Chain A
Amino acid sequence: QLLESGGDLVQPGGSLRLSCAASGIPFNSYNMGWVRQAPGKGLDWVSYIDSSSTTIHYADSVRGRFTISRNNAQNSLYLQMNNLRAEDTAVYYCARLPRGDIWGKGAAVTVSS
């Protein structure tokens, strides 16, 4: 029901855009977000956007570098990641938040030279 894409290997300082395609759910009525998990580590909330894109929040660690957005007509959620750092290396999940009942399978982002 949620499928992430766009994960890749990128050099430090580079940019990447993740996409999350929704299907079979009323995406335009769901608040959504991104959660990441560094290799061997726990879960780390990244960003949140409400159903109408009116309310947006970021973790301090990504604020000013990452931008969350959505296109309800295309049932899609996005995460634009700029000025990437090694510590951004993780699997990125899109999920319905805060309800937490729907998650994608994740997209792997590796930041390394």
Chain B
Amino acid sequence: DIQMTQSPSSVSASVGDRVTISCRASQDITRWLAWYQQKPGEAPKILIYAASDLQSGVPSRFSGSGYGTDFTLTISSLQPEDFATYFCQQASSFPYTFGQGTKLDIK
């Protein structure tokens, strides 16, 4: 199975800050990576697919990069509604696996 490791597991930031979350795969997944945002009591919401493609309707302050084993989600200027938990997920091979999550909270 492919292991997905996110870092950090939690981060505190302020409105307007730039935040970067990393995700590392235990083997090459080319571009088969998605990023999700989840708020308490809600279903996950996709932000980025294919490592760097912005899902329609998602603000452009979200961006993704990476290829192979190392990937990054960047939020360029945090907004109040961005405080949530973020997950990466690989879809290169079964079983699909998720990172453990990164909780982003207000400093």
Contact = CB atoms under 8 A, between A and B. Distances in A.
Contacts of A48: 94, 96
B98 A100 contact: no
Interface residues of A, number: 21
Contact of A45 (B45, B49, B95, B100): B95
Interface of B: 32, 34, 36, 38, 42-46, 49, 55, 87, 89, 91, 94-101
Nearest to B56: A101
Interface of A: 33, 35, 42-45, 48, 57, 59-60, 93, 95, 97-101, 103-106
Contact of A100 (B34, B42, B99, B101): B34
A101 to B, nearest CB: 5
- Most chain A beta-carbon contacts within 10 A, residue among B34, B44, B96: B96
A96 B101 CA distance: 20
B43 A104 contact: yes
